[in-house]
């Protein structure tokens, strides 16, 4: 234990190979050199400095408050929808210096709720007071219990829903599933109970997700419409900067993510982020994004458009926005 009269902390130098060299006599602090870039979490995601001081006599929580921020429950959640463009929105908005986001889908409110809020908090990145914490799990929007559970955490939570033409979304959903399960029945077999009569099978998840108006009714029981922002999946492709400007406004952020951050990748068919100065290549979404859709019979598509039309119209009226899905 260090004597009270000794005001000079002594340190050890920890080298990259694990060796140590005593710099001063008392082991009250350790100087870590050549730390690996991924070994320390830094709130602004920049590479840590070559020299980092860790005092053994400082509690880890206090050090976290001082250096790295805190893990907080999310201020905003991207709650849906699957195959709508949720990953793109998350990757685009996290460029903003005032946004930190969990990297993977947590599925807390639909699959892991019994683990408790502290478990959920532990999945979040560390943020400073000025930063927003976010996560995305697209299945939340269609899970009945989720709105109530999120409101129980905080009724001030801001919700983002990325929506897309429900017919195109269903085909994209099927295409993704087919890539993992080649023996899957045909799209028409799954989408219709009786195609000759135009009877759609709403029990199939790929169809059910696109009934946006029905799902939104459940959310409006717990959140005012002003707390829910709808992103157009189509405009996210044609005008990513415009959609992200509206997202930043909704989150109360300065418009930092602008058109200068994007370029259109003709091979993938959607926008990518221009390469950062620190990177050697542009940032595009993974190979699973932008895959060519399975070709579906034109009559089947028209039948599905007829089926979704009244639900779409109701959804437009509920949110005060015409997405023009025709």
Q: Residue 163, class by beta-carbon neighbours within 10 Å (0-12 exposed, 13-18 middle, 19+ buried)?
A: buried
Query: How many other C-beta atoms can be found within 10 angstroms of the C-beta atom of residue 312?
Result: 24
Considering 83, 136, 158, 287, which one is annotated as catalytic? Answer: 83
Residue 289 marked as a ligand binder: yes
Look at the alpha carbons of 63, 66, 68, 69 in this order and tell me if their dihedral is positive or negative.
positive
Residue 314 marked as a ligand binder: no
Residue 111 marked as a ligand binder: no
Residue 13 marked as a ligand binder: no
Q: How far apart are CA 100 and CA 153, in angstroms?
A: 19
Residue 288 marked as a ligand binder: no
Residue 287 marked as a ligand binder: no
Residue 86 marked as a ligand binder: yes
Residue 229 marked as a ligand binder: no
- Contact residues for 138 (Cβ-Cβ < 8 A; gap 6+): 78, 79, 80, 81, 82, 83, 84, 86, 105, 162
Q: Is 72 a catalytic residue?
A: no
Residue 116 marked as a ligand binder: no
| Residue whose token pair is 């990297």 | 103
Which residues contribute to the annotated binding site? 83-87, 164, 172, 289-293
Residues carrying an active site annotation: 83
Which residues contribute to the annotated binding site for 3'-phosphoadenylyl sulfate? 83-87, 164, 172, 289-293
């Amino acid at each position: 234990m260090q004597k009270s009269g000794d005001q000079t902390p002594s340190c050890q130098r920890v080298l990259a190979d694990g060796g140590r060299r005593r710099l001063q006599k008392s082991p009250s602090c350790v100087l870590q050199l050549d730390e690996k870039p991924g070994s320390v979490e830094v709130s602004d995601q920049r590479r840590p400095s070559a020299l980092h001081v860790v005092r053994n006599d400082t509690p880890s929580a206090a050090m976290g408050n001082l250096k790295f921020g805190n893990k907080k429950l999310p201020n905003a959640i991207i709650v849906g929808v699957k195959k709508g463009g949720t990953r793109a929105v998350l990757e685009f908005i996290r460029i903003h210096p005032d946004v930190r986001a969990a990297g993977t889908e947590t599925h807390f409110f639909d699959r892991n709720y019994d683990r408790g809020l502290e478990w959920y908090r532990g999945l979040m990145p560390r943020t400073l007071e000025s930063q927003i914490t976010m996560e995305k799990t697209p299945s939340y929007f269609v899970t009945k219990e989720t709105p109530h559970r999120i409101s129980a955490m905080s009724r001030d939570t801001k919700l983002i829903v990325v929506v897309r033409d429900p017919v195109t979304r269903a085909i994209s959903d099927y295409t993704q599933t087919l890539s993992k399960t080649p023996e899957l029945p045909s799209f028409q077999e799954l989408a219709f109970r009786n195609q000759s009569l135009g009877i759609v099978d709403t029990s199939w998840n790929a169809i059910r997700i696109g009934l946006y108006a029905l799902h939104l009714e459940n959310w409006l029981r717990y959140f005012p419409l002003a707390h829910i922002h709808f992103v157009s999946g189509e405009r996210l492709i044609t005008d990513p900067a415009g959609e992200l400007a509206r997202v930043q406004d909704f989150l109360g952020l300065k418009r930092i993510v602008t058109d200068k951050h994007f370029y259109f990748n003709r091979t993938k068919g959607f926008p990518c982020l221009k390469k950062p100065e620190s990177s050697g290549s542009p940032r595009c979404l993974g190979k699973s994004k932008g895959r060519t859709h399975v070709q579906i019979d034109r009559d089947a598509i028209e039948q599905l458009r007829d089926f979704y039309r009244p639900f779409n119209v109701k959804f437009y009226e509920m949110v005060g926005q015409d997405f023009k899905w025709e």
